[in-house]
Homo-oligomer: A and B are copies of this chain.
Amino acid sequence: MSEDSSSALLTDHYELTMLQGALHSGAAARRSVFEMFARRLPEGRRYGVVAGTGRFLDLLERFRFGPEELDFLAENEVVDEATLNWLAEYRFSGNVWGYGEGDAYFPGSPILVVEATFAEAVILETLALSVYNHDSAIASAASRMSVAAGDRPLIEMGSRRTHERSAVAAARAAYVAGFATSSNLEAGRTYGVPTGGTAAHAFTLLHDSERHAFETQLESMGTGTTLLVDTYDVERAVRHAVELAGPGLGAVRIDSGDLSTTATRVRAQLDGLGATETRILVTGDLDEHSIRALAVAPVDGYGVGTSLVTGSGAPTVSLVYKLVARARGLDHDAPLEPVAKRSVGKPSRGGRKWAVRRLDEKGIATTEEVYPHDPGRVVGGRPLLRPLVADGEIVGRETVQDARERHRATVAELPEEALRTSRGDTALPTIFL
């Protein structure tokens, strides 16, 4: 994907018609605050993980209505001429704050705060939600898998089970949330995610014998490679693998059957053959629950596909982007007034918000505090919003490694019960002050 292509039409039709209406009434110029938050976590989840921040900033920079975008809107009469003229000049000139990528979030956490004119902020709704809803769903699931895997590396290999471009974002989000590598080459190129992989069953089936396939792979890739041993008969395959590679064989992969039983048997066989350093990788419909269940099995790494890219039961995390305040009038200095839809069962709190994670004396998180004003420095609290865009300029860029490191530190700060994979309640209460 060309990095300079426009992201402007990744937008819902109604954002542009709202813009047209607001330009008509003059309210388009009102200073406004939109916030992104989740009303709840996916059922049974104890925490969520923010991801997508870096991707959103890249896409924001490419949110430009060029001739091709404007022609489409004009030909299809999506909006009127005045609106097209406004869009042609569009550059986001407001301010954005957000939770650091990789940080945890809870119900009501204001993970993104956009302050600009109504016009400038409203048209970012779909793009922002698409990016954060997808990437946070993946990172939230990935984080639970990383916790379940402990020190054993996780390999992301779900590209084939999701849209070809979601796959790249999913590999990135999984890496932020602790995965070691991905199968996705584009994620390697675009985001520097380490990639890996060796062979599928097709490679064995292609050759006249499994032995010949193994020989070929070892010659071509060296004895450090991973041989897939479950195409025909695992016991025979492991014997041939060590015969051909010697005890320096890198790893074997098991992709079917009862993984725990098979891994135990294969470990004993490998050890018996002197291949005590040869690792055992397992793949095949793994999720955080089966990873945890395999903790006692002699397994050295997990490959995770479908459950990762589908958010392990929660492919989206219901983030919303809501107008929470707007100026009383058109003046840039007009005071902001909180606004909120009247809702039953859908808590919406008007007014701009600031957030702090309260930590106890041991550095363990105890509450998510949401303030209606900037609380300044809070003793025993970690401020959660960082500046991402200042007067239209992107100031919050980080590397994927930075986000990965923040995620590691954030998880270390969570109370022990947050890290259970069983269904449970939100690990921290959100307190609106």
Contact = CB atoms under 8 A, between A and B. Distances in A.
Nearest to A233: B342
A408 to B, nearest CB: 24
Interface string A180-205: 00011110110000011111111101
A32 interface: yes
Nearest to A30: B206
Contacts of A109: none
Copies of this chain, whole number = 2
B17 A221 contact: yes
A266 interface: no
Interface stretch (A126-134, A383-391, A394-402): A126-134
Interface residues of A, number: 101
A205 B59 CA distance: 27
A421 interface: no
Interface in A293-338: 306, 309-310, 315-316, 318, 321-323, 326
B17 A219 contact: no
Contacts of A362: none
Contacts of A168: 10
A340 to B, nearest CB: 7
Contacts of A131: 163-164
Interface stretch (A19-27, A240-248, A267-275, A371-379): A19-27
A245 to B, nearest CB: 14
A162 interface: yes
A422 interface: no
Contacts of A122: 202
Contacts of A160: 12, 125-126, 129-130, 133, 321
A167 interface: yes
Contacts of A198: 14, 17-18
A162 B188 contact: no
A118 interface: yes
Nearest to A128: B160
Contacts of A22: 203, 206, 216
Interface of A: 1-2, 5, 7, 9-18, 20-22, 24-25, 27, 30, 32, 34, 59, 68-69, 72-73, 76, 78, 80, 118, 122, 125-127, 129-131, 133-135, 157, 159-169, 183-186, 188-189, 195-203, 205-207, 212-213, 216-217, 219-221, 231-233, 256-257, 306, 309-310, 315-316, 318, 321-323, 326, 339-344, 346
17 contacts: A2-B2, A11-B184, A12-B183, A13-B188, A13-B197, A21-B203, A69-B189, A72-B185, A78-B195, A118-B202, A130-B160, A131-B164, A160-B321, A161-B318, A166-B166, A205-B341, A232-B342
